[in-house]
Amino acid sequence: MSVQPIIQSLEKLIGLHESLLEISKQKTAVVKEGSVESLQPLLLKERKHVQALEQAEVKRQKEVEDWVAQHNANLENATITGILEVINDEQTKNELEQITITLTKTITELKQQEQLNQSLIQQSMQFVELSLNMMKPSIRNLNYGGNKSSDSAERSVFDSKA
């Protein structure tokens, strides 16, 4: 068994991650606009991509396990590094290495984009909270008079003699 199924799975993962990165960039633009209505369809699309990613990852893991079993390799070497050590063909080795590097870069870029989105959303929430706090009156300002002390504070709402 060659590593081509693993390479194809990695290429599919790269495509899905790049697509997810584009959705993440669209989310950034929508969050900057402040359009919640536009954000909902993007979140649904993102959720579908994440599900597809999970399925592709399960498939990749199975292909790696099959490859390891076929080559009687140690299951601890069921990593790209372990596979690269076993492969003899330099062209296949280079192809697998380049695809792995591309996938790693794409995942790193996606992670940075999502951190930016998280920061923007957090800032938006802080702004909304600040705006709400400025709009609600403080309890001290509800009374028009000064600080008068009266006996009414000591009286109960209910008449205890009744």
Tell me, yes or no, whether 29 lies in a domain.
yes
Is residue 53 within 8 A of residue 13, CB to CB? The reply is: yes
Tell me, yes or no, whether 61 lies in a domain.
yes
Question: Where residue 138 falls among pLDDT bands split at 50, 70, 90?
Answer: low
- Count up the domains in the chain and report the number: 1
Tokens representing 105 are: 């870069």
Tell me, yes or no, whether 154 lies in a domain.
no
Tell me, yes or no, whether 87 lies in a domain.
yes
Residue 31 has pLDDT above 80, yes or no: yes
- What does pLDDT average to over the chain? 84
For residue 51, the enclosing domain spans 4-137
CA–CA separation, 88 and 22 (whole Å): 37
pLDDT at 147: 56
Tell me, yes or no, whether 147 lies in a domain.
no
- pTM here? 0.76
Tell me, yes or no, whether 143 lies in a domain.
no
Tell me, yes or no, whether 157 lies in a domain.
no
User: 135 exposed, middle or buried (CB, 10 Å; 0-12, 13-18, 19+)?
Assistant: exposed
CA–CA separation, 83 and 117 (whole Å): 36
Question: Where residue 29 falls among pLDDT bands split at 50, 70, 90?
Answer: very high
pLDDT at 22: 96
Q: What distances in angstroms separate CA 95 from CA 84, 89, 109, 138, 143, one per listed residue?
A: 10, 10, 21, 65, 75
Query: The domain spanning residue 14 has which CATH number?
Result: 1.20.58
Tokens representing 6 are: 């693993």
Is residue 27 within 8 A of residue 49, CB to CB? The reply is: no
